[in-house]
């Protein structure tokens, strides 16, 4: 089992899971997950790497704040976490809500990020995702970002059913192990927990501007891998292609949105050689 540690950084206290030793790998989760979405990936990497998996600000057992759920602030949280843990460089892996912070961290701090892996998310309004967005963004983006308090009022008392829908949809109907399902439901139960989670969606316009401004100022030079499944597929890769110097793209077949839990072996089969390339380059 990973060690759980509370680490104060950037005005919040993050709940962080730590496992293994070696070159650092930072894992950033999405919604409606906690660090535990990486359970199988951590087990598969910890024999060779020091794996660091925080609950993002306001998610899971990490403390929340009234603001700071934009991608730029979450990237600063990640940088501060690595500094506090004494990590000089890390491979960074992000999925869903963790993708934009991982991207901004690599763009702003290429000396800190050895390699970048991003999965199943879009980077603001960058070109390349037009086909994916032809029918509009997923319905829950608007619902979560609606008038503050609306989604919380509708969902309070029904959190388990709502989380279950995402878990089933994100695994193409297979679902996740009961212990993990229960952990995710606990993490998103209660008005405050819901409000913190939806604050990420309410900050998406600000995050999109941060991404656009960062891309206008510099290119992504860090070796990057974009991994898609259903529903995002190649859309993220298409966004990254014009702005990235070294990009590899993969789509995992017969895999839902929650790649680390639905197809962890396939993901590890991509991560291991990609991360080993970073070690070879460092050597």
Judge contact between 115 and 222, C-beta under 8 A: yes
Domain boundaries, the chain: 3-134+207-282
Q: What is the pLDDT of residues 47-103, one digit of tens each?
A: 999 999 999 999 999 999 999 999 999 999 999 999 999 999 999 999 999 999 999
Q: What is the pLDDT of residues 208-266, one digit of tens each?
A: 999 999 999 999 999 999 999 999 999 999 999 999 999 999 999 999 999 999 999 99
Cβ contacts of 251 within 8 Å, gap of 6 or more: 227, 228, 229, 233, 234
Q: What pLDDT does 231 receive? A: 97
Q: What is the pLDDT of residues 19-44, one digit of tens each?
A: 999 999 999 999 999 999 999 999 99
Name residue 53's beta-bridge partners: 17
Q: What is the pLDDT of residues 111-162, one digit of tens each?
A: 999 999 999 999 999 999 999 999 999 999 999 999 889 999 999 999 999 9
Q: What pLDDT does 253 receive? A: 97
Alpha-carbon distance of 283 to 277, in angstroms, equals 10
The answer, yes or no, to whether residue 191 has pLDDT greater than 80, is: yes
CATH number of 3-134+207-282: 3.40.50.1820
pTM score, whole prediction:
0.97
Name residue 276's beta-bridge partners: none
């Amino acid at each position: 089992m990973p060690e759980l540690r509370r680490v104060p950084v950037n005005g919040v206290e993050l709940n962080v899971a730590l496992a293994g030793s070696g070159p650092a790998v930072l894992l950033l989760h999405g919604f409606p997950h906690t660090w535990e979405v990486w359970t199988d990936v951590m087990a598969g990497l910890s024999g060779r790497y020091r794996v660091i998996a925080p609950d993002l600000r306001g998610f899971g057992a990490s403390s929340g704040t009234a603001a700071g759920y934009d991608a730029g602030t979450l990237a600063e949280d990640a940088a501060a976490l690595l500094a506090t843990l004494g990590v000089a460089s890390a491979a960074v892996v992000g999925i869903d809500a963790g993708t934009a912070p991982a991207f901004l961290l690599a763009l702003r701090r290429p000396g800190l990020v050895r390699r970048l892996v991003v999965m199943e998310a879009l980077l603001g309004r960058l070109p390349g995702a037009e086909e994916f967005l032809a029918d509009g963004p997923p319905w829950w983006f608007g619902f979560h970002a609606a008038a503050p308090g609306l989604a919380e009022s509708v969902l309070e008392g029904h959190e388990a059913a709502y989380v279950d829908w995402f878990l089933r949809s994100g695994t193409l109907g297979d679902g996740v192990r009961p212990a993990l399902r229960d952990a995710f439901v606990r993490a998103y139960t209660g008005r405050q927990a819901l409000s913190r989670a939806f604050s990420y969606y309410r900050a998406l316009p600000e995050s999109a501007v941060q991404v656009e401004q960062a891309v206008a100022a510099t290119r992504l030079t860090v070796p990057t891998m974009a991994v898609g499944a259903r529903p995002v597929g190649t859309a993220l890769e298409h966004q990254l292609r014009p702005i990235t110097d070294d990009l590899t793209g993969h789509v995992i077949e017969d895999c839902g949105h929650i790649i680390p839990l639905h197809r962890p072996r396939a993901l590890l089969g991509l991560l291991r050689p990609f991360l080993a390339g970073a070690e070879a380059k460092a050597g």
